[in-house]
């Protein structure tokens, strides 16, 4: 199954209007520095799928995000492989997607000015 990748604005809309929960897969230290408003932290690691299963049913509406989009795509793929059915990946993460020279190619959640919970 192909993971549907959405923009930060689309992720915010899904959370606000359709009951999606933002699962931030960054480290606890990264999460503590700032995060999407209302998000929860389940760091991507060996027990990620089990930790997610402890909090959500497999039909839960989940948007997965990280710092720039790489970890969240891996996490979304892991959840879908485990049988989760409503998983979206938020492109560009909390900061931004970047090109080969470090330039911002797509602003992330914080750069898009979307609601945040401070550290």
Catalytic residues: 66
**CA distances from residue 11 to 47, 67, 94, 102 in whole angstroms, order as listed:** 25, 14, 11, 24
Q: 76 phi and psi, to 5 degrees?
A: -60, -45
Are 24 and 35 within 8 A, CB to CB?
yes
Q: Can you tell me the distance from the alpha carbon of 53 to that of 77, in angstroms, rounded to the nearest whole number? A: 14
Based on C-alpha coordinates, what's the Rg of the chain?
13
Nearest by Cα to 75 from 51, 110, 95, 106: 51
């Amino acid at each position: 199954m192909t993971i549907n990748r959405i923009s930060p604005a689309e992720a915010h809309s899904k959370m606000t209007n359709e009951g999606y929960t933002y699962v931030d897969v960054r480290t606890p230290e990264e999460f503590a520095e700032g995060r999407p408003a209302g998000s929860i932290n389940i760091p991507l690691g060996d027990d990620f799928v089990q930790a997610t299963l402890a909090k959500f049913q497999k039909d839960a509406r989940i948007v997965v995000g990280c710092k720039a989009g790489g970890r969240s795509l891996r996490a979304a793929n892991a959840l879908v492989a485990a049988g989760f059915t409503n998983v979206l990946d938020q492109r560009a993460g909390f900061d931004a997607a970047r090109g080969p020279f470090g330039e911002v190619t797509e602003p992330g959640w914080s750069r898009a000015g979307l609601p945040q919970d401070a550290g």
